Amino acid sequence: MTQFDEQLTQDLFDKKMITENQLQEIKNYRSLNIFSLNVELKLLLSISVLMFTSGVGILIYDNIDSIGHIALLAILFVITCGCFYYCFKNSQGFQKTETKFESPFLEYLVLIANVLTCIFIGYLQVQYEVFGTHYGLATLVPTLVSFFCAYYFDNRSVLTIAITGLAAYIGFSVTPQEIFQGNNDFYANPSLSYSAIMLGVLLILWTVYSFKIELKTHFTLVYLTFALHIISIASISNMYRDELIWILFALILAGSSYYFYKISYQLKAISLYVFMIIYAYIGINIFLFRIFEHADFDEIWVLFFMLLPIYFIGSIVMFIKLIKNFNKEIAK
């Protein structure tokens, strides 16, 4: 037992929250040095899902000419149906509250079935164009299937696939290196920025409604994480625009940062808090750059470069202080 654990246990005893007998039982249990392999096993299961689905893709690519499209689609269909049959047979059914699986295998089998469904529908559209020229349906259908599976089987991993598919359906696609470049989708298509922000707002509103009807409230962090990234990336990308419209997106980012600052404390979610700080910091720097880009630095440029290291060092110190304060507040 570590010194930190000993101190916490002793504090509970001093506050008379546990008896002396319970204190001794806790010490005896911890002295056995038993540790959980839950995280390691789940990591191996995640790697297994990734390797299996990747293997299916490689199999299709390498044997497309020798096996044939119909045969590959049939194999995919049979495996997918088999996975879903096992999942439906062994699941507890839909529940509004959080569902605990007796075996983690079922949770990852749902993920495999969902990924294979996406592969199957995508393959079907590319090869036979079953949805015709309505290519969005090839994204929307697996997205709806993913949402159904996420709520029926209570699976957060499938929910992330569903939200990603929904973002792809409206055309939101951006890689990390494109965020701060002028050739990303938001810069090339301004209307996409409004669609992305609306999607982020809808995700937030859905979490509020879910809390009201008590529907899978433990999904809240997943929805809010996507909403934070979508709104922030869309706003930051458009703050590079030459038009005065960048001010609007600066205000949107400011409002978003304030909301996620408050909600991160309510949910005690440090991940939301950290990313909120990062996006807000980026936005503040872009805002300052846009304000000072028309200023004349001919006479004060030496002072500016002298203060720049102090600014960045101060930012790092402030970031660490904010994280410490957050951890202190949520621990109360």
User: What is residue 296's predicted lDDT score, i.e. its pLDDT?
Assistant: 66
User: What is residue 146's predicted lDDT score, i.e. its pLDDT?
Assistant: 93
Spatial separation of the C-alpha atoms in residues 267 and 264, rounded to whole Å: 5
> For the chain, how many residues are written?
332
Spatial separation of the C-alpha atoms in residues 238 and 249, rounded to whole Å: 7
Nearest to 262 by CA among 286, 232, 223, 228: 228
C-alpha distance from residue 12 to each of 18, 28, 327, 331 (Å): 6, 16, 20, 15
Total Cβ atoms within 10 A of residue 277: 19
Mean pLDDT score of the chain: 81
Whether 66 has a pLDDT exceeding 70, the answer reads: no
> Which of 101-115, 135-149, 256-270 has the weakest average pLDDT?
101-115
Q: How sure is the predictor about 135, in pLDDT bands with cuts at 50, 70 and 90?
A: confident
Whether 58 has a pLDDT exceeding 80, the answer reads: no
Whether 294 has a pLDDT exceeding 80, the answer reads: no
Spatial separation of the C-alpha atoms in residues 117 and 123, rounded to whole Å: 10
Chain segment 161-170, per-residue pLDDT in tens: 999 988 888 7
Instruction: List, as one string, the DSSP characters of 53-65.
Output: HHHHHHHHHHSHH
The three-state secondary structure class of 50 is: helix
Q: Which two tokens stand for residue 237?
A: 């990308």
Instruction: List, as one string, the DSSP characters of 230-275.
Output: HHHHHHHHHTT-SSTHHHHHHHHHHHHHHHHHHHHHHHT-HHHHHH
User: What is residue 177's predicted lDDT score, i.e. its pLDDT?
Assistant: 47
Say which residue, 27 or 230, is predicted with more confidence. 230
Nearest to 230 by CA among 196, 183, 187: 196
Whether 189 has a pLDDT exceeding 70, the answer reads: no
Judge whether 130 and 117 are in contact, CB under 8 Å.
no
Spatial separation of the C-alpha atoms in residues 2 and 309, rounded to whole Å: 40
Burial bucket for residue 269 (CB in 10 Å: 0-12, 13-18, 19+): buried
Question: pTM for this one?
Answer: 0.80
Spatial separation of the C-alpha atoms in residues 139 and 135, rounded to whole Å: 7
Nearest to 238 by CA among 256, 226, 261, 223: 256
Total Cβ atoms within 10 A of residue 130: 13
> Which of 186-190, 282-286, 294-298 has the weakest average pLDDT?
186-190
Say which residue, 152 or 126, is predicted with more confidence. 152
> Which of 96-110, 137-151, 291-305 has the weakest average pLDDT?
291-305
Give the range with max mean pLDDT: 84-98, 119-133, 195-209.
195-209
Whether 184 has a pLDDT exceeding 60, the answer reads: no
User: What is residue 71's predicted lDDT score, i.e. its pLDDT?
Assistant: 78
Whether 186 has a pLDDT exceeding 70, the answer reads: no
Whether 95 has a pLDDT exceeding 70, the answer reads: yes
Say which residue, 128 or 152, is predicted with more confidence. 152
Spatial separation of the C-alpha atoms in residues 48 and 157, rounded to whole Å: 14
Spatial separation of the C-alpha atoms in residues 149 and 219, rounded to whole Å: 13
